[in-house]
Amino acid sequence: MNNPLNPQDDEQRRKNRNFRTIILLVVAGIFVLILLQTFRSNPSNNEISYTNFVSQLQQGEVQSVTIRGSQVKGMLISGKKFSTMLPTNPGTPDSSLAPLLQKKNVKVVYKQQEDRSFIWTALLYIVPMALIFLFWLWMLRRMQGEGTNALSFGRSPARTFNKEYSKVTFKDVAGIDEVKEEVEEIVEYLRDPQKFVRLGAQIPKGVLLVGAPGTGKTLLARAIAGEADVPFFSISGSDFVEMFVGVGAARVRDLFRRAKDETKSKNGVIVFIDEIDAVGRKRGAGIGGGHDEREQTLNQLLSEMDGFEKNDHVIILAATNRSDILDAALLRPGRFDRRIVVPPPDMKGREAILQVHAKEKKLGPDVDLALLARRTPGFVGADLENLCNEAALLAARRDKSQIEMKDFEDSIDRVIAGIERKGHLIREEEKKRIAYHEAGHALVGKLMPKADPIHRISIVPRGESALGYTLQIPLEEKYIYTKEELLARLTGMLGGRAAEEVVFGDLSTGAYDDLKKSTEIAKRMVVSYGMSERIGPLSLGRENGNVFLGEDLVLNHQEHSERLSSIIDEEIKKIIESCHQQAKELLSEHVELLTRLANKLLEVEVIEEDQLDQLLDLPSLQPA
């Protein structure tokens, strides 16, 4: 639902439109005057020299002329028009020209000369100067009305919200109950500050929300704006930074000045800075020896949050997914007293989020949100919202009156692997190899006791490069993995390559993604988790960036010897080869089941978990 903007925002937008209109008018006026001057100064294409004119006149080629001052225009007997200028002063034509014209029987018309010099001077000089003068006069009026910064560049673009504007409340936030309790305390303080003041407690001056993209940081801020009965200022970190020196710092000052003015009539004010890492990065790494515009803006922000002047009633709420790059002075108590990590939701939290997003949708009786929550590990709030929307779109496309479980299942495939490429033609030989590849993944996953359950197998092309996939989902939320579980996962990943070797006797490029992921897991086992007997309990790697962003693991070779690096490579290779060999042995022992599963995939293309169990009848084959 769209709500009208505040009057202050409307006024600001109106002034911006007026400013752009005047600028365009000034530019257009100057452009038109330049064109007029250009056309006036350009000679006409039929202009001839005076000598040529006299020669043609003497030869009797001129039919008629019109004389206006020193300008002569006429027509030749051939019908061609011409123009020329007399070599005498204006108003005093050549005395020998009139007898010659009469002698040659040329029709002559005299016209009075019009003096346009004053008009053109006014157009070319006075009018542009007048426009420039009016522009600067308008600019000075804006400076007097809005501060000392020209064109109001120093005015903060923060928008002000109130309780009536934001319709989002804490009821719309689900799956992160612990985080919600933390921020609810801020709202409670603003409603009843005496409850805390009588015990000597002080509300945190700053609260930093840290989490992966899509976990609900901005949604929490919108809920606070909808719950708290105080002014709520919202701004992005990038809005502070400008190309002009000093503008960012001026905007910070203006923002806090406006916030402090609001505290005169309210218990407090909340200032929300989204993506604060755009302005709060560590100092000393900028261009110009640490004196660039962004760092000056950060210095002003630090001073306003906790400087010489006390700032008791302005609460700063900020959000970022890059807390590792923020300046240490910004994170210290007194500025951001409380740092709240907004984690991805667990299974119970995902179910609560699905209930929120499915509230306005027509669900069929077979839809099980608890089962959907189990089948979407790693999904954050934004992913689950997108999942519900995709399911609704699919149901509408299929002309259904309700959203069924099949629509949600297909939406999960769409979100994970991409859209189905129905027009993608695959040769029968390649399709057979893909079927055996995915069957190898699934069969090894079923035979490994510590592997996650197989949920779905598909050889339908999806996305950019996925020709098929095998989806394994744990029964419960896992936060710790044992060495045996990781080895089982590695063996399942290499099952596709092993199946191609067992059946076809050669290799293909289809295992590229499997090899990349399995090598990464093996590397972490050796250098981070201490799961190598030769290396021992050592952690030799480091994360290249924020852990929430899933950055690559890198080895710092300067911290250990080349011999140790060589041992690390050997251990990674040993783990990969051991799992690969185990996958080949399992598939060689059950090649009949592998063939049965691959043929079924070629027939139906998609096999669900219950169909897989019926097809393989594996309980008797599971290792003890």
How confident is the model over 512-525, as pLDDT tens digits? 889 999 999 999 99
Can you give the pLDDT at residue 147? 40
Task: Report the distance separating Cα 537 and Cα 530, nearest Å.
Answer: 4
Residue 375's domain spans which residues?
Answer: 347-417
* Residue 491 included in any domain: yes
* Residue 365 included in any domain: yes
Decide if 576 contacts 521 (C-beta within 8 A). no
Amino acid at 458: S
Task: Report the distance separating Cα 255 and Cα 252, nearest Å.
Answer: 5
376 with 318, same domain: the answer is: no
Q: Which of 445, 374, 459, 488 is nearest to 613 (CA)?
A: 445
Task: Report the distance separating Cα 210 and Cα 216, nearest Å.
Answer: 10
Q: Give the end of a domain, one of 302, 324, 342.
A: 342
pTM: 0.65
204 with 280, same domain: the answer is: yes
Per DSSP, what are the bridge partners of residue 456? 471, 608
| Residue 158 pLDDT exceeds 70 | no
- Token readout for 577 is 């080869």
* Residue 598 included in any domain: yes
352 with 336, same domain: the answer is: no
Instruction: State the CATH number of the domain containing residue 358.
Output: 1.10.8.60
Task: Report the distance separating Cα 346 and Cα 379, nearest Å.
Answer: 9
Sign of CA dihedral 271, 7, 147, 239: positive
108 with 221, same domain: the answer is: no
- Token readout for 564 is 């140790």
Instruction: State the CATH number of the domain containing residue 64.
Output: 3.30.720.210
Q: Which of 99-108, 144-153, 553-562 has the lowest mean pLDDT?
A: 144-153
- Other Cβ atoms closer than 10 A to 426: 15
- Judge residue 85's burial from the number of C-beta atoms within 10 Å of its C-beta, 0-12 exposed, 13-18 middle, 19 or more buried: middle
- Judge residue 261's burial from the number of C-beta atoms within 10 Å of its C-beta, 0-12 exposed, 13-18 middle, 19 or more buried: exposed
Q: Which of 503, 481, 178 is nearest to 345 (CA)?
A: 178
Q: Which of 325, 313, 330, 398 is nearest to 364 (CA)?
A: 398
| Residue 331 pLDDT exceeds 90 | no
Stronger pLDDT, 516 or 269, i.e. the higher one:
516
What is the number of alpha carbons within 13 Å of residue 164 lying toward its C-beta? 3
Amino acid at 131: L
H-run or E-run covering 73: strand 71-76
Can you give the pLDDT at residue 316? 86
- Other Cβ atoms closer than 10 A to 409: 19
517 with 596, same domain: the answer is: yes
Count of helix runs (H) and strand runs (E) in the chain: 22, 15
382 with 283, same domain: the answer is: no
Sheet containing strand 81-85, strands side by side: 81-85, 71-76, 62-68, 107-111
pLDDT range class, residue 29, cuts 50, 70, 90: low
266 with 338, same domain: the answer is: yes
Per DSSP, what are the bridge partners of residue 108? 65
Whole-number mean pLDDT of the chain? 78
* Residue 463 included in any domain: yes
pLDDT range class, residue 221, cuts 50, 70, 90: confident
What is the number of alpha carbons within 13 Å of residue 370 lying toward its C-beta? 2
* Residue 477 included in any domain: yes
Can you give the pLDDT at residue 288? 47
444 with 527, same domain: the answer is: yes
Q: Which of 384, 389, 361 is nearest to 215 (CA)?
A: 384
Stronger pLDDT, 500 or 86, i.e. the higher one:
500
490 with 581, same domain: the answer is: yes
- Residue 509, Cα to own-chain centre: how many angstroms? 33
Q: Give the end of a domain, one of 364, 394, 417.
A: 417
When divided into structural domains, the chain yields a total of: 5
Can you give the pLDDT at residue 127? 67
Q: Give the end of a domain, one of 315, 342, 369.
A: 342
**DSSP result, 155-191:** S--PEEE-TTT----GGG--S-HHHHHHHHHHHHHHH
| Residue 144 pLDDT exceeds 90 | no
* Residue 422 included in any domain: no
* Residue 279 included in any domain: yes
370 with 472, same domain: the answer is: no
Can you give the pLDDT at residue 565? 87
Taking only the tens place, the pLDDT of each residue in 276-296 is 888 888 876 554 444 567 778
Decide if 111 contacts 70 (C-beta within 8 A). no
Decide if 70 contacts 86 (C-beta within 8 A). yes
447 with 527, same domain: the answer is: yes
3-state secondary structure of 329: helix
* Residue 423 included in any domain: no
Catalytic residues: 438
336 with 354, same domain: the answer is: no
Instruction: State the CATH number of the domain containing residue 256.
Output: 3.40.50.300
Can you give the pLDDT at residue 197? 78
| Residue 568 pLDDT exceeds 60 | yes
Task: Report the distance separating Cα 111 and Cα 371, nearest Å.
Answer: 97
